[in-house]
Amino acid sequence: MRRPLLKSGVALSIGALILSLCVSFLSSFQSIQLRLSNALYSERETSSEIVIVALDGDFLSDFTGLTTYKKRDYFSEAIGLVEEGNPSVVMLDWLLDKPSDGVISEDIYSIATSYPNVSDFSAEILEFLGDVHPTDERLLSLFETYDNIYLSKMATGFLKLEDGVSFYSGTSGPMSLFEDVTHTGFSNAETPSGYNIQSVYGIPAAINIDGATEAHMDIKLAEAHLGQEVDVPSINGQMLINYAAPSNYYPSVSIADVLHGNVDSSLFTNKIVLIGPTAVEFQDLQYTPIDPTLPMPGIEIHANAIQTILDEAFLVNQGTLDFALVLGVLILVSVLVFVHAPVLVGGVMLVLELIAFPFYAQWRFDHGVIVNLIWPVFALVAAYLAVLVYRNFTEFAEKRKLKEAFGRYVSPELVAQISEHPEQLKLGGERRAITALFLDIENFTNLSESLEPQAVVSVINTYFDALSKVIMQKGGTVDKFEGDAIMALFGAPVPSEDHGLKGCETALAIREKMAELNASTGYKLNIRIGLATGDAIVGNMGSENRFDYTAMGDTVNTASRLEGANKFYSTRILVTEGTYEAAKGQFFMRQVDLVCLKGKDKAIRIYEVLGPLAGATEEGHKVVVEWDKALEAYRAGRFDEAEKGFRAVLTTLPEDGPSKTLLGRVATLKLASLTDWDGVWKFESK
């Protein structure tokens, strides 16, 4: 049975794997995958090589009424102060795409006082306005001084993704005045397209405009800082950002503090300095997967992207082969357990796997791989349900058959044990130590002759139903019904260590049940029980199409003979020496005889079960001692002494069957004048 289960388990595993592979890449599930992966991002230590100079709330409150040109003066002053610290690179996240407008009152006053004549003043002011704006001139001068300044530009009009390169149709960036003397880089941060998700997961790794391809600004900054090119993995043209901190957690200094001289320029030494807005008023905010509820300033997104490169903490999605291998092993192992283990064990394993999977996913994420979070869970649950359905139509169906087959003959507890461990049946037969019980209703034939057939059936069914329940309650198996007899087994089909003890318990319980049945039916029926303990062949016996679970062998035949031997001794329960040894510490018993049963060559000692040992009286023990002395004399051929002993027992127990039987034998043996008496009585009939 195990081999078909193994094959079926492998087949179910392959089916679940193929199904998962087919549907795991459906776009409708990718958005769910993205949202679930948000939980994998966790805060870690931010890089000490990055410093943010923030245009924050303090800047707005300290420098109110700012105009465009005024801001550029502040940029000039702030960048100059930063450069005093000799930073590695400086990035200004501000589009300088238009010239400054307006005039400064100090400049107007200077021209007016220099040219009091109106016509001269007008000509001079027009020439002044036609030149580069003074604030732009000052900023340009700063840019020309330093070679480590990067200005932002934006790629516009996304067209397509090809070979990992994002193609855009246009660009928006700094004026050529500034672009000619600085470095520039694209600052695009795209949200996933087609999934209705507004979080920024990555940046375009490579951008192409009009045939020219260049890396993203953040990659350029990292390379400039490191002094070497970096190999950045991309997924669908994007470098995924491994966020180190949620919004407003990244260390920064206010540009207001820089302008006020409150920041030591050594803070910027050999650092990547990012200058950009963080205040809500600037509206440069984006949602991120590390905290989808609180938007993050764009300058912090740049910082997280750069740190991803510096730390080489790159993220990639789980590849198809990786996914197939992990899922294949997971499903195969799980399905084999689900198929072979009890349903409860399989369910517990499923729950443990579902609990452990997020920890596995987090471990893989921490090592740079975003695993598929949907289909392993789906595949495990689907595989478990598929196995349940499969087992319902195969193994469980077999168990139902077993329960139906054994349910009438063994206890529910034993049926459950058999159904959970059908291999214990050892179909085909095996040698095993058991205790066989044969039970016969005494004189039932005479009773049946006086009753109508329907009444006979009713009586036998009443007794057999009650006695079968007793046998099953004690852990026995009702093997068969034959006329007015019952054959039962202990220790089969499921092995047990105390089958001899259970057999004796059952025999006494049957004797008590007979008294109850006689009281309720009005009949006066007795039973004879034979018990034998030893090896027997147990298993399914019969033909291919029709067979029964039963036992055969000398032990079984002996039990049957002992049941019949009761009528010679007027006893109710006779057992073999093996049964006696198994139960003598719990039951009050006496040795009855040394006999050679009909059809047997070997002599055996037989014992009578009198009752529970705890219930035996002192007088009862004395009688058994008297009996044992008489039996010993009988065996030794001291017939006069034996006769005296048996009569002494009858004085106390006038109806003692074994004493009467052996007294009759003593008389016969004395007349025969035997010279070769060995104490063994040979039965010539059953």
CA angle 29, 34, 40 (to 5 degrees): 130
Of all residues in the chain, what percent carry a pLDDT higher than 90? 50
The DSSP letter of residue 193 is T
Tally Cβ neighbours within 10 Å of residue 594. Answer: 17
Please indicate, yes or no, whether residues 122 and 101 belong to a single structural domain of this protein: yes
Structure tokens at 136: 């732009």
The answer on 457 and 584 residing in a single domain is yes
Other CB atoms within 10 Å distance of the CB of residue 27: 8
Q: Is the peptide bond before 493 cis (omega within 30 degrees of 0)?
A: yes
Strands 165-172 and 149-162: antiparallel
Least confident of 191-195, 200-204, 420-424, 561-565: 420-424
Is residue 451 domain-resident? yes
pLDDT at 397 over 70: no
| Residue 422, in any domain of the structure | no
Does a structural domain hold residue 416? no
Q: Average pLDDT, stretch 411-439?
A: 70
Confidence of residue 520 (pLDDT cuts 50, 70, 90): very high
Do both 590 and 671 map to the same domain?
no
Domain contains 497: yes
Adjacent-strand bridge partners of 202: 240
* Domain total of the chain: 4
- Other CB atoms within a 10 A radius of the CB of residue 99 amount to 15
Spell out the residues 6+ positions from residue 130 whose beta carbon is closer than 8 angstroms to its own. Answer: none
Residue 223 gets the label, from left (phi > 0), alpha (psi -120 to 50) or beta, of alpha
Burial of 244 (0-12, 13-18, 19+ CB in 10 A): buried
* Torsional sign, CA 111, 113, 115, 121: positive
What are the pLDDT digits (tens) for 654-664?
A: 999 999 999 99
- Final residue in a domain of this structure, among 310, 339, 354: 310
Exposed / middle / buried, residue 600 (Cβ in 10 Å: 0-12, 13-18, 19+): middle
Asked if residue 279 is part of any domain, the answer here is yes
The span from the CA of 290 to the CA of 285, in Å, is: 14
Task: Determine the structural domain holding residue 373 and report its residue range.
Answer: 2-40+318-393
Q: Which residues are paired to 161 by β-bridges?
A: 166
Looking at residue 50, its pLDDT comes to 96
Position 240 pLDDT exceeds 50: yes
Which of 145, 67, 51, 141 minimizes the C-alpha distance to 100?
Answer: 67
Q: Which residue has the tokens 């995924």?
A: 240
DSSP string across 619-635 = HHHHHHHHHHHHHHHHH
Cβ atoms 203, 124 nearer than 8 A: no
For 63-72, 292-301, 544-553, which range has the lowest pLDDT when averaged over its residues?
63-72
List the one residue out of 253, 548, 529, 540 whose CA is nearest residue 424.
540
The 3-state secondary structure of 344-393, one letter per residue: HHHHHHHHHHHHHHHHHHHHHHHCCEECCCCHHHHHHHHHHHHHHHHHHH
Domain shared by 284 and 144, yes or no: yes
Question: Which residue has better confidence, 652 or 598?
Answer: 652
Q: What is the pLDDT of residue 409?
A: 53
Residue 5 scores a pLDDT above 50:
no
Same domain, 110 and 195: yes
Q: Same domain for 10 and 88?
A: no
Residue at a domain's end among 310, 328, 352: 310
For the packed helices 618-636 and 657-672, what is the interaxial angle rounded to 10 degrees? 20
At 3, the pLDDT band (50, 70, 90 cuts) reads very low
Instruction: Summarize pLDDT for 145-156 with one digit per residue, the tens.
Output: 999 999 999 999
pLDDT in tens, 271-316: 999 999 999 888 889 999 999 889 999 999 999 999 999 999 999 9
Q: What is the largest CA-CA distance in the chain?
A: 174
**Dist CA 284 CA 277 (whole Å):** 7
Same domain as 163, residue 250: yes
- List the alpha helices (DSSP H) in 158-285: 176-179, 217-226, 255-259
Residue 568's pLDDT band (boundaries 50, 70, 90)? very high
Q: Does 413 map to a domain?
A: no
Are the C-beta atoms of 639 and 670 separated by less than 8 Å? Answer: yes
Question: 438 - beta bridge partners?
Answer: 487, 530
612 to 512, 526, 571, 575: CA distances (angstroms) = 12, 20, 16, 15
Residue 86 sits at φ, ψ, to 5 deg, of 55, 60
Domain boundary among the residues 585, 613, 641 is at: 613
pLDDT of residue 98: 85
Tokens 């008294």 sit on residue: 515
Best CA proximity match to 219, nearest among 89, 95, 319: 89
Measured between alpha carbons, how far is 134 from 100 in angstroms, rounded to an integer? 9
If asked whether residues 11 and 69 sit together in one domain, one would say: no
How many CB atoms lie under 10 A from the CB of residue 603? 16
User: What mean pLDDT comes out for the span 206-234?
Assistant: 93
264: left (phi over 0), alpha (psi -120 to 50) or beta: beta
Q: Is 449 domain-assigned?
A: yes
Q: Are residues 505 and 639 in the same domain?
A: no
Does the pLDDT value for residue 26 go beyond 70? no
DSSP state of 478: E
Two tokens at 585?
């510490």
> End-to-end alpha-carbon separation of the chain, Å?
43
Environment class of 95 (CB within 10 Å of its CB; exposed 0-12, middle 13-18, buried 19+): middle
Q: Is residue 201 part of a domain?
A: yes
* Alpha-carbon distance values, 410 to 271, 404, 416 (Å): 83, 11, 10
Q: Which position has the higher pLDDT, 73 or 71?
A: 73
**What does the alpha-carbon distance between residue 125 and residue 116 come to, in Å, rounded to a whole number?**
12
**Within 13 Å, how many C-alpha atoms sit on residue 40's CB side?**
27
Least confident interval from 2-16, 121-135, 292-306, 604-618: 2-16
By C-alpha distance, which of 517, 525, 513, 425 is closest to 477? 425
The CATH number covering residue 601 comes to 3.30.70.1230
Mean pLDDT, range 240-258, rounded to an integer? 92
Instruction: Flag whether pLDDT at 384 surpasses 70.
Output: yes
Report how far residue 491's alpha carbon sits from residue 470's, in angstroms, rounded to the nearest whole number. 16
pLDDT over 60 (residue 67): no
Clarify whether residues 221 and 355 are in a common domain: no
Name the average pLDDT for the chain.
Answer: 84
Indicate whether 68 and 180 sit together in one domain: yes
Amino acid (one-letter) located at 24: S
Cα Rg, the chain, nearest whole Å: 50
Angle, CA of 271, 275 and 281, to the nearest 5°: 150
Same domain, 345 and 375: yes
Give the per-residue pLDDT at 1.
Answer: 42
